[in-house]
Structure 1
Amino acid sequence: MEKPNFRKEILNVLSGKTPANPPVGSFTTTPVLELMDLSGAARPEADSQPDKMALLAFSQYVNASFETLRYPFDVVVLAEALGCSIDPGTKARPPAVTKGIVGRPPVIPKLPEAPEVLLKKGRIPAVLEATEILREKAGSKLPLIVGMEGPGDLATSLCGISNFLKWTIKSPHLVTRLVDLCTDACIMYGRECLKRGADVVVIADAVSSPVMISPNAFRSLIKPGMARIPKALGGKSVLHICGSADPIIADMAECGYDGLSLEESIKDLKSAVHIAHECGTAVIGNVSTSRTLFAGKPEDVKRGAFESLQAGVDVLAPGCGLAPETPLKNLKALVEARNEFCGRK
């Protein structure tokens, strides 16, 4: 029996079509140690070497039975390209920003006038080359999901989280200027990823969560830039915001992304699904990455998956990035849960 075209199924879901069975995969980071060992591609090499990055991404399908190929495996690629100092991390620890580029007094940097200048910096060339490798390897059957930090998260990397949070209250004009710059960087990078063969761009923005900044601050300072991205990309896009995003679900849906990736912290998933669907937006998620996928057993994963599916998610997925020590058997349990829920053998 011929296998389903998972790429077509994901693109159909993000185009507003109801699938026969919800796809299973990840739209958030997936640096699982067991996948590294099985694929022979481990970080930190898989964070910077295109062939290793492609191998680890493809192992999500080969070894975890996921129906998506999500890469890269951290969310500081743009920050590094713009000049932030980066700790490259280890096998079990992702790259992280150690120092930004906006000092005191704050001077907002400028992007290169020619996008190709930015696209040659840092690890962006590695991600673009990995995209081409994956597109050839996956053919037309598997969707390539490329993730990146959103304008809010990128801004915090550039100026530091404490400065960013302080400026949202005392100097909102600085935040607006910085978010505009970061939005332009996301668009430049995202467009090129799509051009090279990616199917979906995921914008991940943890600082936009209501646990970090107020909903009003999100609406006035980050949402305008966030809403520019989908149309400018010219391809499929998904927005991921961490935490209990209930107060801003409508705002997220209004930004125009094809899908919303939601965490397990959402208090009323059914309501969030309804709001998103009213705007023609798919919902992805939202099985707990810490409590269930990392610390639970396969039966716990299945129970969480059933709850997400019963609430109406369009794609069954982890609610956020996976911990490196997440057991592979728990990832496979997501696919098993979908199959059981849909009555598939």
Structure 2
Amino acid sequence: MNTKKRIISGILGGRVDQIPVWLPVVSITVPMMEQAKAPWPAAHHDPELMAKLAAMPWELAGLPAITVPFCLSLEAEALGCELDPGTINRTPSVKKPAFSIPDDFVLPENLLERGRIPVVLRALEILHDRLGEEVPINAKITGGFTIAGHIYGVSEFISWIKTNPAYAHQAVESASLVTKALITAFEDHGADIISISDPTASGDLLSGDQYREFVLPYHKRVASAARRPSVLHICGNSSGLLEHIKTSGFDAYSFEEKIDVLTAKKILGDNISLVGNVAPVGTMLQGSPEKVTADALLAMQGGVDVLSSGCTLPPLTPLENIRALARAPEHYRVPREPEEILREFSRGFAAGVNQ
């Protein structure tokens, strides 16, 4: 089974000969930028540099994580937000919202021509042509809840959940139109996988009931728009959201180390594949290769379908730690014999009972 098929099969919950390793989030580091001669912020604005840099995790570390764009502000910029351009180790971020209230929102007819969207479209084409036979090309798109926070201001938008629920719904619904439009465009330009990053829709900010009301209906619409395998990534401790996430329609769920793998497996079952959850800071940035391997083994033993970091890799993550993550599945044998499967099941069952 080749790398591309293994990853897609893992996302879709299919048969694999080895746990695939793959990141739905950004895995670019400063040494990669230096090797590619494609530093941030320049690589955010040039399709050739973007494609060259996106290939570096695979070419330098054997990590089949080819993801564009590299930030969460692509959509906000296209909608008129003022950005901080970022630096070599910090991605662009929103400085000033574009709108005051949802009634002000207008979906641009020329959305795909605005901001850096044309850069990403061209970079996807380049990556598809150069690497599409070897590894899947992943397009990362910001979820509607997070876009709404960007274009109205996070504090103001979150306050509407209590003070003006109609505004909150209107804001997420209109922002999700942007997410859906980019899904279609990115798939048409070569994306093999669609990853929706919606970090503001986190259990650190929302209760399960709030997620069910203000996020889940729009996640379902977004998931149904994808023609390729789809992955949802939400940061933070979102254990309280899992019962709802399993009905979202996404093929896989990417989560941080704040959520225990066995807990996620117990709640989500076979409804959705698990992608995670090696700690990006405590292990990938600050740990040793041995620590990376040990934590990766725990995640695989816990039941992840795809091994990944729990969130975006810090730009100063050591290359040797990324290589260790890429090689970690070689140290784990997928249970195949009946007694092995029973042993894996028993361990997960016992852990669930003891929580």
TM-score by length of 2: 0.91
For residue 57 of structure 1, report the CA deviation from its aligned partner. Answer: 0.8
Match status 1:240 vs 2:252:
no
> Take 2:92 and 2:25, find their aligned partners in 1: how far apart are those partners?
15
> Take 2:247 and 2:331, find their aligned partners in 1: how far apart are those partners?
34
What's the counterpart of residue 209 of structure 1? Answer: 202
What's the counterpart of residue 317 of structure 1? Answer: 308
- 1:271 partner amino acid: T
Match of 1:208, SS? coil
Q: How does 1:173-184 map to 2 (within 5 A)?
A: 173-184=166-177
8 Å contact kept, 2:138–2:192: yes
What's the counterpart of residue 168 of structure 1? Answer: 161
Deviation sequence 1:3-31 (CA, Å, 0-9, x none): x5222222222222031101112111122
Deviation sequence 1:53-84 (CA, Å, 0-9, x none): 10111111010111231221111101111111
8 Å contact kept, 1:5–1:140: no
What's the counterpart of residue 62 of structure 1? Answer: 59
8 Å contact kept, 2:83–2:93: yes
Match of 2:200, SS? helix
For residue 199 of structure 1, report the CA deviation from its aligned partner. Answer: 0.7
Match of 2:269, SS? helix
Deviation sequence 1:240-297 (CA, Å, 0-9, x none): 011111111121121000110011110x311312433331x11111000011101111
For residue 106 of structure 1, report the CA deviation from its aligned partner. Answer: 5.6
- 1:99 partner amino acid: K
> Take 2:105 and 2:37, find their aligned partners in 1: how far apart are those partners?
39
Match of 2:106, SS? coil
> Take 1:57 and 1:277, find their aligned partners in 2: how far apart are those partners?
33
8 Å contact kept, 1:263–1:285: yes
Deviating more after overlay: 13-22 vs 199-208 = 13-22
> Take 2:300 and 2:9, find their aligned partners in 1: how far apart are those partners?
18
- 1:306 partner amino acid: L
Q: How does 1:39-118 map to 2 (within 5 A)?
A: 39-103=36-100, 107-112=103-108, 114=109, 117-118=110-111
> Take 2:23 and 2:85, find their aligned partners in 1: how far apart are those partners?
23
Match status 1:305 vs 2:262:
no
Q: Pick from 126, 144, 147 the counterpart of residue 140 of structure 2.
A: 147
- 2:3 partner amino acid: F
> Take 1:5 and 1:124, find their aligned partners in 2: how far apart are those partners?
31
> Take 1:335 and 1:207, find their aligned partners in 2: how far apart are those partners?
28
What's the counterpart of residue 227 of structure 1? Answer: 220
> Take 1:319 and 1:106, find their aligned partners in 2: how far apart are those partners?
32
Query: Unaligned 5+ residue runs, structure 2?
Result: 335-355
For residue 336 of structure 1, report the CA deviation from its aligned partner. Answer: 2.4
8 Å contact kept, 2:223–2:230: yes
Match status 1:276 vs 2:268:
yes
What's the counterpart of residue 326 of structure 1? Answer: 317
Change (3 A) 1:186 1:106: closer
What's the counterpart of residue 34 of structure 2? Answer: 37
8 Å contact kept, 1:206–1:241: yes
Match status 1:119 vs 2:112:
yes
8 Å contact kept, 2:11–2:306: no
8 Å contact kept, 1:108–1:178: no
- 1:97 partner amino acid: V
- 1:331 partner amino acid: I
Query: Unaligned 5+ residue runs, structure 1?
Result: none
Match status 1:253 vs 2:246:
yes
8 Å contact kept, 1:282–1:313: yes
8 Å contact kept, 2:231–2:254: yes
> Take 1:87 and 1:107, find their aligned partners in 2: how far apart are those partners?
26
> Take 2:258 and 2:104, find their aligned partners in 1: how far apart are those partners?
34
- 1:332 partner amino acid: R
Match status 1:338 vs 2:335:
no
Match of 1:119, SS? helix
> Take 2:326 and 2:212, find their aligned partners in 1: how far apart are those partners?
36
Deviation sequence 1:89-112 (CA, Å, 0-9, x none): 111110000001122x66340213
For residue 340 of structure 1, report the CA deviation from its aligned partner. Answer: 1.5
For residue 173 of structure 1, report the CA deviation from its aligned partner. Answer: 0.6
For residue 231 of structure 1, report the CA deviation from its aligned partner. Answer: 1.2
Q: How does 1:8-23 map to 2 (within 5 A)?
A: 8-23=5-20
For residue 139 of structure 1, report the CA deviation from its aligned partner. Answer: 3.3
> Take 2:307 and 2:229, find their aligned partners in 1: how far apart are those partners?
18
> Take 2:211 and 2:5, find their aligned partners in 1: how far apart are those partners?
33
Cα RMSD (Å): 1.4
8 Å contact kept, 1:108–1:177: no
Aligned residues: 334
- 1:272 partner amino acid: A
Change (3 A) 1:106 1:19: closer
- 1:305 partner amino acid: A
